[in-house]
Amino acid sequence: MAEAKSPSGVSRVLNAAWLRPFVFLLVIVAAWDLSIRLFHIPAYQIPSPGDVVAVLWTDWPELLRQSWPTTYATICGFALSALFGIPTAMLIAGSRTVESYVYPLLVFSQSVPKIAIAPLFVVWFGFGIIPKVISAFLLGFFPVVVSAVQGFKSVDSDMVDLARAMQGSRFRVFCAVNLPHAMPAIFSGLKVSVTLAVVGAVVGEFVGSNSGIGYVLQRSIGTFDLPTMFAALVILALLGVILFWIVDRIERLVIPWHVSQRADIIFAS
């Protein structure tokens, strides 16, 4: 009977799906503020949410200016991950020989901590954007390859046989069967990759840069300016969320047929 009751306008807005994460966020921020007051945590250890918001408000132009280089490096690194990751996965999935040579080495290289070798890129490429892009690329590359390999390999061999029996050339069969089939897996890899690319870009900025959010983070830690540091973290989180959301939207456009998107089709038709 409770469901039959039509909810009031306010509670309907509060129950809207897009609002829920914000409501939850608000609860977390309130808990944060409350625990600082309750346990008397000094501001040099954890700043209060109010201070962080104040910094975000007053230093907004500066933070925005600093977030462009980070965004730029992230997108470049991510684009390179996709550009090299997908063809690499195609080669690995397409040839046992390539797989046996390349895949173990790729996994091995993934175990090398990127943060440890990031200074090396500064030595090689200076303090410009390139070390950041490379570090974003290195973090974003692996998940794309792993997911795409899995996607390409999970094609039903009967389906490929069917297309080949119709005299489809290798390229035609690949475009009509293998590639679309791998798309959902590729996109799940891209979504992991884009958030890791943000981390990669910040790591690049940590070790050698005089611009970007990573640089702001580094500087504010040095001066114990915790509100600014937390504000930078908020900006980074926002950046990750926005980029993830963009990839998610593109996925919906590219693979509307996939199981994960079917609810939308039913409502549309």
We find the least distance from the C-beta atom of residue 263 to another protein, in angstroms, to be 13
Q: Which of 41, 71, 102, 168 binds another protein (CB under 8 A)?
A: 168
Give least dist CB 256 to another protein, A: 8
Q: How far is the CB of 255 from another protein (least distance, A)?
A: 7
| Closest CB 252 distance from another protein, rounded Å | 13
Nearest residue (CB) to another protein, 145 versus 182: 182
Is 156 near another protein (CB under 8 A)?
Answer: yes
Task: Say which DSSP state 256 is in.
Answer: T
Question: How many Å separate Cα 173 from the centre of its chain?
Answer: 31
Q: Does 166 bind another protein (CB under 8 A)?
A: yes
Nearest to 191 by CA among 134, 260, 132: 260
- 164 binds another protein per the rule CB under 8 A: yes
Shortest CB 253 distance to another protein, Å: 13
- 168/171 Cα distance (integer angstroms): 8
User: Any alpha helices (H) in 49-127, and if so which ranges?
Assistant: 49-58, 60-94, 96-111, 114-125
Closest CA to 190 of 97, 34, 85: 85
Least distance from another protein to the Cβ atom of residue 269, Å: 9
Q: Write the CB contacts of 7 (distance below 8 Å, at least 6 apart in sequence).
A: 15
Residue 65 is a binding residue for another protein (CB under 8 A) = no
- Regarding 265 and contact with another protein (CB under 8 A), the answer is yes
User: 67: phi > 0 → left, psi -120 to 50 → alpha, else beta; which?
Assistant: alpha
Rounded CA separation 239/243 (Å): 6
Residue 10 or 165: the one with the smaller Cβ distance to another protein is: 165
**Which amino acid is it at 135?**
S
170 counts as binding another protein under rule CB under 8 A: no
Binding of residue 177 to another protein (CB under 8 A): yes
Q: Which residues of this chain interact with another protein, rule CB under 8 A?
A: 156, 158-159, 161-168, 172-173, 176-177, 180-181, 255, 257-258, 262, 265
